[in-house]
A and B are shown apart, each in its own frame.
Chain A
Amino acid sequence: MHSAEKKHDFEPKVVAFVCTWCTYAGADLAGTSRMQYPPNVRVLKFPCTGRIDPVFILRAFQKGADGVLVSGCHPGDCHYMAGNFHARRRFAAFRVLLGFVGVDLNRLQFSWVSAAEGGKWVEVVTELTERVRAMGPMREFKELEQEEQWSATLTTPELQQAYESI
């Protein structure tokens, strides 16, 4: 799998928001089973996918993530009974919104990984990392972040015009 010899030009930054009961434990299992996967992922632990606010995903992209993974318990397995069901709807909607403003949804992955699915964790993380690597850096948000333009300054023609017409 991912070995020391393989060097890439681009190492994507991947952030994983996971629930503590299923996916975090699944990732632990991948560890105890000594499975190997790309070291690009940084895991943030939540009690439940229900706690994960869409703002966090947005913020992660803004702060330089090239790919984001959200993962929790399979439907019916939620430690809190219904947190993942609520999350599923919330993210179904948020995903559509991000897609609508032009974010390539290949950078955003959702998955159910149970505490027994160490293999699936490795698969999901590897797949996302490699997919994002092939896509290259997430330029859109970084460019926005770097843009210095202040839209409220009276330099834009529209505002200038509006100002003059008062």
Chain B
Amino acid sequence: MTTINQNCYDSVTEAIRREAAKLLQEQTVAAVVGYVAGRRPGTASPAVAKSAEDAEKLVFSPACVNNLALFLSKAKKGIVPKGKTAIVAKGCDLRALAGLIGESQLNREDLVVIGVACAGVFSAAGERSLPLSDANIAAKCRECTIHTPEGVDVVAGTLPQLPDFDPVEAKELARLEAMTPQERWAFWKEHFSRCIRCMACRQICPFCYCEQCLCDRNRPQAVESSPRPAGNLAWHIVRAMHLAGRCAGCAECERSCPMDIPLNLLNRRMAQELKEQYQYEAGTTPQEKGPLNQYREDDDQSFIK
């Protein structure tokens, strides 16, 4: 088993504290969105530091799973005080920030981005008392392409040598792709039938910032709101479709799902398609138009008669 050297997290923590304290002291920003240690060991929770004292409490560890970009989206209005904000951002958070900027939800000028050299975070079910390793690292981190932040204002920490992880999610995706439609239907039917429509996947998603979700509407009702199989399927399809070309791949939906539905597979499948067809990949640079908001005259149309 390969364990990741823990020292890197300490150096990130130190850099975040130093930078956050400076920004707050000099009043460059009104708040710093980051993480603080949780009550139980091996946990961390998002926090908004508003003073230099608060800044001392900021940490970065493999328990810092949340995508903090969420707190800057309209859905979480009021949590972060008005004014210029600094944010601690891992690779996935950076992609979400870039997406939100591209969708006119944020202004880059109003942000100070403290990019984190992130070796990875714990998986939802991973054992947190042990150091981060092959055994307890999140699936998304195994295939992460943005361990070192790009286009940020400050880079915190340096990245240790990372082992080559087994890409479990890509393999699972390939396994599903190899199935017959009937088998896939059975796979998803089983998963979706467990959905209790708690909407955690929606609440945690940085891109689900609509003031009123289409799926909550009843005139007309596009998706049944009761937790029954038909509506469950419809909800997850609509969700994946609305995120296609926008999703940052942070897999927070999957992590927060109490019923362990492998939601990120849907997102991954869409991302894969958009990359193959339109060479689009969620990245750290805000893009003017997403892949489904633009077209080329010679786009593939082999599926159209």
Chain A residues engaging chain B, CB cutoff 8 angstroms? 54-55, 58-59, 62, 75-76, 82, 85-86, 88-105, 109-112, 124, 140-141, 144-145, 147-152, 156, 158-159, 162
Contacts and interface: CB of A to CB of B under 8 A. Distances in A.
Contact of B305 (A86, A112, A141, A162): A112
Interface stretch (B98-106, B123-131, B203-211, B228-236): B228-236
Contacts of B228: 147-151
Contacts of B227: 150-152
Contacts of A98: 237
Interface stretch (B68-76, B156-164, B273-281): B273-281
14 contacts: A55-B223, A85-B295, A86-B293, A88-B295, A92-B277, A93-B274, A95-B303, A96-B273, A97-B270, A99-B181, A102-B186, A102-B188, A104-B182, A152-B197
Nearest to B176: A100
Contact of B299 (A85, A109, A149): A85
Nearest to A141: B230
A91 B266 CA distance: 16
Nearest to B244: A93
Contacts of A124: 305
Contact of A151 (B232, B294, B303): B232
Given A103-B185, A110-B305, A149-B193, 20 more contacts: A54-B241, A59-B222, A59-B234, A86-B293, A86-B295, A89-B277, A89-B292, A91-B303, A92-B277, A92-B301, A93-B245, A96-B269, A102-B181, A102-B183, A102-B185, A140-B185, A149-B228, A149-B229, A150-B226, A156-B194
Contacts of B177: 100
A147 B230 contact: yes
The main secondary structure of chain B at its interface with chain A is helix
Contacts of B185: 101-103, 140
A140 to B, nearest CB: 6
A18 to B, nearest CB: 13
B187 interface: yes
B181 A90 contact: no
B189 interface: yes
Contact of B188 (A58, A101, A109, A158): A101
Chain A CB within 10 A, most for which of B181, B196, B270, B294? B181
Contacts of B270: 93, 96-97
B238 A55 contact: yes
Contact of A100 (B184, B197, B245): B184
Nearest to A153: B227
Given A102-B187, A149-B229, A158 B194 contact: yes
Contacts of A104: 181-182
Contact of B273 (A85, A90, A93, A156): A93
Contacts of A91: 303
Interface in B241-285: 241, 244-245, 258-259, 266, 269-270, 273-274, 277-278
Nearest to B222: A55
Contact of B292 (A59, A62, A93, A111): A93
B266 A144 contact: no
A89 B291 contact: yes
B233 A101 contact: yes
A49 B181 CA distance: 27
Contact of A62 (B234, B244, B294, B305): B234
